[in-house]
Amino acid sequence: MMISPICFFIFSLVLSSSYAAVQDFCVADYTALQGPAGYSCKDPAKVTVDDFVYSGLRVPGNTSNIHKFGFVPAVVAQFPGLNGLGVSVARTDLGVGGVIPFHTHRGATEVLIVAEGSSVLAGFIDSNNKVYLKTLNKGDSMIFPRGLFHFAVNQGDTPVLMYASLSSENPGLDVLETSLFKNDLSTDLISKTTLLDKSQIRKLKRLLGGTN
């Protein structure tokens, strides 16, 4: 009988690892199984330098949105060489008046560097509800400790380009407004668990595409 294409594909995956005795890295194979530690490893014989190089940060993120906020991640989902290495990067663009909305990164720490622009008001909030706020200028860097809410606003008169370094290859991005208002979480439940008024909730669900 013929071997079905998919079987052959699996076959190549299976064989590959027998050539992988010594591995310095585990480049993500997006077509194979994932585990708690990340993606399966690409056949080392097929790994090239291009698995470790990413050009996606050349282009500004699209800032044509309500926040004038562009975000281009270079995390393991786009950048296979990061698999299992515990670090990732991203590019953030803010138009004049642009905003990085209130968010967290599931336990990852972020270090933000202002590469272009000025007067970026950035902040985070600790578990005692204390606010840490600073205006950053070109060349400044700021830490957002693991798991804490943070945000930024471009108060300058030029666009801002920032690079983020994250302490995980898969840091996630949990934005408050979309977590609350861009899904089917009921208005009643949101109101009870956040103290927000139902009218406010309905207004933002309409804006962001939430239901219920």
| Binding-site residues from annotation for oxalate | 105, 110
Question: 55 or 64: whose CB is closer to a copy of itself?
Answer: 55
Q: What does the alpha-carbon distance between residue 145 and residue 43 come to, in Å, rounded to a whole number?
A: 36
Question: 136 or 160: whose CB is closer to a copy of itself?
Answer: 136
Residues 76-135 that bind a copy of itself (CB under 8 A): 77, 79, 81-89, 91, 99-102, 104-109, 111, 113, 115, 121, 123-134
Residues 32-71 that bind a copy of itself (CB under 8 A): 32-41, 48-50, 52-55, 57-59, 66
Least CB distance from residue 122 to a copy of itself, whole Å?
Answer: 9
Q: What does the alpha-carbon distance between residue 111 and residue 109 come to, in Å, rounded to a whole number?
A: 7
Report how far apart, in Å, the C-alpha atoms of 192 and of each of 11, 165, 201, 204 are: 53, 36, 11, 16
Residues 165-204 that bind a copy of itself (CB under 8 A): 165-167, 170, 172-174, 176-185, 189-190, 192-197, 200, 203-204
Least CB distance from residue 123 to a copy of itself, whole Å?
Answer: 7
Q: What does the alpha-carbon distance between residue 103 and residue 179 come to, in Å, rounded to a whole number?
A: 9
Least CB distance from residue 63 to a copy of itself, whole Å?
Answer: 15
Report how far apart, in Å, the C-alpha atoms of 53 and of each of 16, 18, 57, 148, 177 are: 22, 26, 11, 30, 33
Residues in Cβ contact with 170 at an 8 Å cutoff, skipping those fewer than 6 apart? 38, 75, 76, 77, 88
